[in-house]
Amino acid sequence: MFAMIRLAMILIIICTVAGGLWYITNLKADLAVSELNNQKLEEATKAQNELIEQMQQDIAKIQEINANLQEQNEKQRKDVDALAKKFDKRDFGTFVANQSEKAEQLINRGTKNVFRCLELASGAPLNETEKKAKTPTEANRECPNLIDSDFSAPSTN
Residue 113: count of CB within 10 angstroms of its CB: 14
Per-residue model confidence as pLDDT tens digits over 114-151:
888 888 888 888 888 888 888 877 777 777 777 765 44
Query: Do 63 and 100 fall within a single domain?
Result: no
Read off the amino acid at residue 91: D
The domain total for the chain is 2
Q: CA 95, CA 109: separation in Å to the nearest integer?
A: 16
Query: Do 100 and 112 fall within a single domain?
Result: yes
Q: CA 32, CA 2: separation in Å to the nearest integer?
A: 45
Nearest 5°: CA angle at 75, between 72 and 79?
A: 135
Question: Is residue 156 included in any domain, yes or no?
Answer: yes
Question: Is residue 82 included in any domain, yes or no?
Answer: yes
Question: Is residue 51 included in any domain, yes or no?
Answer: no
Query: Do 104 and 149 fall within a single domain?
Result: yes
Query: Do 107 and 138 fall within a single domain?
Result: yes
Question: Is residue 119 included in any domain, yes or no?
Answer: yes
Residues, the chain = 157
142 phi and psi, to 5 degrees?
Answer: -80, -30
What is the span of the domain harbouring residue 135? 92-157
CA dihedral 79, 81, 82, 85 (to 10 degrees): 160
Question: Is residue 12 included in any domain, yes or no?
Answer: no
Q: Please give the model's pTM, rounded to 2 decimal places.
A: 0.46
DSSP per-residue letters across 134-145: SSHHHH-SS-HH
Per-residue model confidence as pLDDT tens digits over 61-115:
999 999 999 999 998 898 888 877 776 666 777 777 888 888 888 888 888 888 8
Domain end (from 40, 72, 89): 89
Question: Is residue 16 included in any domain, yes or no?
Answer: no
Read off the amino acid at residue 147: I
